[in-house]
Amino acid sequence: MPRTTGALRRLAARAGAGLLALAAAMTPATAGTVPPRAGAAPLPGAPGAPADGTPLPLARHFDNRGVSEDAHPQYADFDGSGASLSAGALAAAGWTPGRTVALDGAELTWPRPTPSGDDNVRANGQSVRVEGRGEALVLLVAGTRGDATGTGTVHYRDGGHAPFELTAPDWRRGPLGAKAVALPHLNKPSGRVAERALLYAVSVPLRTGRPVSSVTLPRDPAGADLHVFALSVRPGATGWTGTWSAAPGTYAWVGPWTDRTLRLVTRTTAGGPRVRLRFENAFAREPVRIGAVSVARRRAGAQTLGRPVPVTFGGRTGTEVPAGARAVSDPVDLAVPAGDDLLVSFHLPGTVRALPLHREAAHTSYLGGPGNRTRETGGGAYPTTLRSWPLLTGVDVAGGEGSLVVVGDSITDASSRTRDTDRRWTDLLAARLHRQHRTPRYGVLNQAISANRILTDRYPGDGESAESSGVSVLNRLDRDVLAQTSPRALLVFQGVNDLRWGATAEEVLDGLRRVTERARTHGLRTVVATLAPCGGEKRCTPEVDARRQTVNAALRARPGHVDAVLDADRVLRDPERPERLLPRYDSGDHLHPGDAGLVALTDAVDLRTLGP
């Protein structure tokens, strides 16, 4: 039936509206379901293919139906085999037609089907009207019949243009760690299939300050279809600086919590007169409802300094964050200095069994309830302590000079030894930046995750898990670096875990190259640290140390994709036994520097390498 109906629709497009109505009448229709269409490319003269190449909104180019109702899966064919995305699974994730989903700093609208039922375009050189100026163009995509790669072009209002290469991972076999959302099942004409369906957000750098006029989508890649559902410009965070962040490392079981309020402790690295908050429902399959939010300076423990300031989202007291998406609050007037503790309180009115979280919090936080306790000033309403940061991923302040993003592993992340001391080396670096005036006084965003790697995922990227070591830097780069607030520089101190678990020096160097090259295309300065010695730790064998020395030698040669090198190895090693940490810098496990080592590492950062 789908093929017959699709043929009738193509015939109707040629013959006129009368035959189109007849073709539609021959197909059984149900509420909310449009009869199928063949999915062929637009016919000459059709609305999706203007003869003069005039840019049109993306929906005018839709030529494929990728979403089907579960009761009528035969009415869509996303990949040419009859398989399609489930409308029910999308709705369960909070992705409903016409809804704005914030991904990687851009607001993308999940499409409403056209009258013929189409909801995406197979990229083949279409000219799409796009407006705005900003840091990047973000596209919601998926490949069918394999990963789809092609070259497109961004066109600017001043007549300039720039090519870009875009890869859409396969919707059934792409990397889980890089996906925007995973659906638990897909549809086939025979019914539901218990197999993941994946959608991806990918970003294309834009020239700063230049308004975009249109985008030419990539030409049809050989052997695969590159499907585009939505696209939008990620605006620059003009007037805002990231002052605190935490990278989600897992989607973990909690509670379950019903009608509870969390009060999380964060520490500013830059000050400003106003504050806004960022929540991220990363790795989730269902939306999370936030009933109320407040922010306050901290007096002690869970006690606030003054009354908490209520926080809104588009003027509303709460918000729902779809699976995989982000919510950014409205600004609130709260003057905060650098180096100050903030209490961010948010009420979860429903029952929550799992949340994205950063496992190793640098501060002890608090759990209150039952009920909305966001306006409480005292600590009595929060009797339970937390040692993780769930759901909250960022705090921004108005003004400032932008942010330095630091990506790393457990040497940079918090630990039981540094919790509640503000002695992570990034805390010390933020204090150094704040005390001087020769280089930009950036906010410092610690995006490290303990046991994290550059190349491979520890947490698989989907589903509830006790593994909290995150997805690879390559898979989290868009979310955890490029989409942070006003990033100006990136410092990467990572790679030893890859070596300790079998990666070659060449693989680590290639991973670092891919990370830094991508960051530089987005306008960030890049600083890479050499790998610190770890001799004496059980996995840091002489073979691993030889590979570490190869990596460090290559980095000291200052490869072209790096702006500066922080020689952590030279600072921390024992001159008598260079494969080991200097004893006074060793925390005792031979892998992590102790307090004196963190101070030495911080002092070794040449602040001039971070600025323009």
pLDDT tier for residue 37 given thresholds of 50, 70 and 90: very low
- DSSP letter at 419? T
- Locate 342 and state its tokens: 């903030």
Enter the tokens of residue 553: 């030698």
On whether residue 309 sits in a domain, the answer given is: no
Q: Tell me whether residue 150 is in a domain.
A: yes
The span from the CA of 565 to the CA of 563, in Å, is 7
Q: How confident is the model at residue 559 (pLDDT cuts 50, 70, 90)?
A: confident
Task: Note the pLDDT tens digit of each residue in 76-124.
Answer: 999 999 999 999 999 999 999 999 999 999 999 999 999 999 999 999 9
What pLDDT was estimated at residue 109?
98
The domain tally of the chain equals: 1
Q: Domain for residue 571, yes or no?
A: no
| Residues in contact with 193: Cβ distance below 8 Å, sequence separation at least 6, in sequence order | 83, 185, 186, 187
Mean pLDDT of 327-346: 98
Beta strands at 181-183 and 272-280: parallel, antiparallel or unpaired: unpaired
Question: 51 or 43: whose pLDDT is higher?
Answer: 51
58 in any annotated domain: yes
Task: Say which residues have a Cβ less than 8 Å from residue 492's Cβ, sequence separation at least 6.
Answer: 407, 408, 473, 512, 515, 516, 526, 527, 528, 529
Whether the Cβ atoms of residue 530 and residue 566 lie closer than 8 Å to each other: yes
pLDDT, residue 53, reads 76
pLDDT at 42: 39
Q: How does 369-400 read in b/e, with b if 16+ C-beta sit within 10 Å?
A: beebbbbbbebebbeeebebbbbbbbbbbbeb
Is residue 587 included in any domain, yes or no? no
Other CB atoms within 10 A of residue 469 CB = 22
Q: Where are the beta strands (DSSP E) in 74-224?
A: 84-86, 100-103, 106-109, 121-122, 127-132, 136-144, 148-156, 161-168, 181-183, 186-188, 191-193, 197-205, 212-216
Q: Is 164 contained in some domain?
A: yes
Q: Alpha-carbon distance 164 to 152, whole Å?
A: 5
Task: Quick: pLDDT tens for 162-177.
Answer: 999 999 999 999 999 9
* Residue found under tokens 């921004």: 396
Whole-angstrom Cα distance, residue 397 to residue 338? 10
**In which domain, by residue range, is 118 found?**
45-234
Residue 109 CA to chain centroid, in angstroms? 17
What φ, ψ does residue 605 adopt, rounded to 5°?
-70, 120
Residue 399 lies in a domain: no
Residue 77 placed within a domain = yes
| pLDDT (average), residues 447-468 | 97
